[in-house]
Copies of this chain bind each other. A is one copy, B any other.
Amino acid sequence: MQQIADAAGVSVTTVSHALSGKRPVNPDTAARIHRLIDQFQYVPDAGARRLQSGRSRTIGLAVPDISHWYFGRIARGVEEAANEADHGLVVASTANADPRRERRYFTMLSTRAIDGLIYASSRSTAEIDELARLARSAPLVLADEPIESIDVPSVSTTVYEGALEAVTLLKALGHERVVAVAGYQGLPSTLARTRALHEVFPGALTFYGDFEVESGYRILGDLLAADLRFTAVFAHNDNMAIGAMRRLQDAGLRVPEDVSIIGFDDTDAATMVTPALTTVRKDMVEVGRQSGRLLLDRLNGTPVAKQDSVLLPTELVVRGSTGPAPATPRPSSS
């Protein structure tokens, strides 16, 4: 900047103001300065700016695993929002329960490498205390899974309503015996889906998985081995639904003739499997985008509190994996 100032025959102050427009500058001088800036390919130093202003124009995103479809979608939305506002985005994995890693985002906030954080949890809500503490000292937004007990704004989806639509469909198709392959126990969305399930099928059994394909496969294997009778499976996400479907097909059962399956998320894979999966769509990119906007609004001074939380709609997508309940439940001991 000094270089530009010298070349233009003015002080750095004037260059700074010509750039920011925070005070009037002689049009001629301004033009000259801008020409020089282009010529020298000058770009103001981000670090110096940060040091001066206290803001890094960068936000953080903490996710368990950036390579998962689910968090990748969130990340994409956040990145779009950050980009719109001309902010950078740094991502940090919280997975592996490596303590140093777990605190990484905390450190980034303290060192002011980032101005605020979007936190997407998926596992337990064990980190509540830490998040509550964090929220006191820095702007924080929860993406996807809200936490009722602390005063932090969140962006989530109408999981309960979506699940209700899903199980209502099963009911309408005549299903009576449905089992749930659930997500992490204790997770708000798991609770919501279970609540919706029981609304329609009060006594329905629930088995907890970990959201991965394998767990759907394994749980269904156990159910078959135990000779449990059911005509429909309500999985808390598409991955587990797909695992469940594979296990049933491996056992010679037909989907949906013998057993109907319904998933959640509407991942890319939902249309790749045969039959295509009936599922509840959640727009995770939008969740990310709105989380980003919420955080950025807050950074720009707009006060944002818990009541500004956003709830995005879900949508039931009916495809081939659901059908009328068979007369006799097929997985039977007979």
Contact = CB atoms under 8 A, between A and B. Distances in A.
Contact of A88 (B43, B113, B249, B269): B113
Contact of A93 (B48, B69, B79, B271): B79
Most interface-central of A47, A75, A92, A285 (chain B CB within 10 A) = A47
B76 A285 contact: no
A112 interface: yes
Contact of A274 (B50, B68, B213, B273): B273
A89 B79 CA distance: 13
A126 interface: no
A79 B75 CA distance: 14
Given A51-B45, A274-B274, A76 B65 contact: yes
A94 B93 CA distance: 22
B66 A76 contact: yes
A56 B47 contact: yes
Interface in A67-106: 67-69, 72-73, 75-76, 79-80, 83, 88-93, 101, 104
A268 to B, nearest CB: 7
A2 interface: no
Contacts of A213: 268, 271-272
B47 A51 contact: yes
A210 to B, nearest CB: 15
B46 A75 contact: no
- The binding surface of chain A is classed by DSSP as helix
A78 to B, nearest CB: 9
A75 B50 contact: no
A107 interface: yes
Nearest to A47: B50
A41 interface: yes
Interface residues of A, number: 48
Contacts of A75: 66-67, 91
A247 interface: no
B72 A111 contact: no
A108 B285 CA distance: 24
A89 B88 contact: no
A44 interface: yes
Interface string A101-129: 10010011011110000000000000000
Nearest to A285: B67
Contacts of A194: none
A269 B44 CA distance: 45
A76 B108 CA distance: 18
A58 interface: yes
Interface of A: 41, 43-48, 50-51, 56, 58, 65-69, 72-73, 75-76, 79-80, 83, 88-93, 101, 104, 107-108, 110-113, 213, 242, 246, 249, 268-269, 271-274, 285
Considering the complex of A and B, which 7 residue pairs feature the smallest CB-CB distances, nearest first?
A47-B50, A67-B76, A46-B111, A43-B110, A46-B113, A67-B72, A72-B72
Given A46-B108, A66-B66, 14 more contacts: A43-B111, A45-B112, A47-B48, A47-B56, A51-B51, A66-B75, A66-B76, A67-B75, A67-B76, A72-B72, A213-B271, A242-B272, A269-B269, A273-B273
